[in-house]
Amino acid sequence: MIEIVSRDRCVRCDICVKVCPMDVFEPGTDGVPVIARQPDCQTCFMCEAHCPADALFVAPLAGPAPAGSPYTDEAALVASGAMGRYRHVIGWGRGRTPGSRLDKNFVFTARLAASGGEGPSRTDASGDDAGVSERQPEAS
């Protein structure tokens, strides 16, 4: 769930307010958005991807982080480079290469096909749903 809006980093653009599909944020009176409805957060990381200032942190937990959790320690997260990490790997931001350009999922898919038991149509499964065998799934 969303845990941190960094007051130090935020440039008050309200992009997160706009893009969060679950409408979790509210614009703040001083311009820094507030996490108004954390229980609605679906842990999709989209706000982090879109924040131009690497000011947001979404903890990997589907529920709120417990008190004292490292996921709420802004200084430590900044120091570890966790903030803005996702935006970095998908290659968003000035001077970066879109991550999709570097997508090597087809290598994975080819390996999967080669790993035995998989028919030729394995080649069409390059995304998440890859990993299905053509054999009839078990009758359970």
Partner 1 sequence: MTVTGTSSDPLDLSAGVLVAGGGPAAAWAEYKAAQAGADVVLADKGYCGTSGATASAGTGVWYVPPRPAERERAMASREALGGHLADRHWMARVLDQTYEGMGELADAGRYPFPPDGEGGQVRRGVQGPEYMRRMRILLRRAGVRILDHSPVVELLTDEDGAVAGVAGYQRQRDRPYRVRAGAVVLATGGCAFLSRALGCDVNTGDGALMAAEAGAELSGMEFSNAYAIAPEFSSVTKTAYYSFATFYREDGTVLEGAGSQKGRSVIARTLLTEKVYCRIDRAGPDVQRAMRLGQPNFFLPFDRMGVDPFTRLFPVTLLLEGTVRGTGGIRVADDECATSVPGLYVAGDAATRELVCGGFTGGGSHNAAWAISSGTWAGRGAARFSAALAPSASRRPLIPAGGAGLRPTGRPAARDGYREVVAAVQAEVHPYEKNYLRHGDRLGPALANLHATWDRVRSSLYGTGAGAVHARQAAAMTAHARWMYTAALARQESRGMHKREDLPGSDESWRRRLLVEGLDEIRVRPDPVAPVGPQEYADHLRAAS
Ligand X SMILES: Cc1cc2nc3c(=O)[nH]c(=O)nc-3n(C[C@H](O)[C@H](O)[C@H](O)COP(=O)(O)OP(=O)(O)OC[C@H]3O[C@@H](n4cnc5c(N)ncnc54)[C@H](O)[C@@H]3O)c2cc1C
Rounded distance, CA 3 to CA 65, Å? 8
The binder of 8, among ligand SF4, ligand X, partner 1, none, by C-beta within 5 to 8 A per type, is none
By CB under 6 A, name the binding residues for ligand SF4: 2, 5, 10-16, 20, 22, 24, 33, 41-47, 51-53, 55-56, 58
The 75-114 site mask, x for binding ligand X (CB under 6 A), equals ----------------------------------------
Tokens 């030729």: give the residue.
120
| CB 65, min distance to ligand SF4, A | 13
Query: Judged by CB under 8 A, does residue 62 bind partner 1?
Result: yes
Considering only the stretches 4-12, 27-35, 37-45, 127-135, report the one whose residues sit in contact with ligand X under the rule CB under 6 A.
127-135
| CB 46, min distance to ligand X, A | 11
The two three-digit tokens of residue 5, written as one number: 């809006």
| CB 96, min distance to partner 1, A | 11
Rounded distance, CA 119 to CA 61, Å? 37
First to last CA, the chain: 35
The two three-digit tokens of residue 103, written as one number: 């997508």
Rounded distance, CA 23 to CA 51, Å? 15
List the one residue out of 75, 2, 59, 96 whose CA is nearest residue 19. 2
Cα angle value 62/56/96 (rounded, 5°): 115
The type of residue at 44 is C
Query: Judged by CB under 6 A, does residue 129 bind ligand X?
Result: yes
The two three-digit tokens of residue 130, written as one number: 């890859």
Where do contacts with partner 1 occur on this chain (CB under 8 A)? 14, 17-23, 26-27, 40, 42-46, 49-50, 59-63, 71, 82, 85-86, 89-90, 92, 98-109, 111-112, 119-121, 123-140
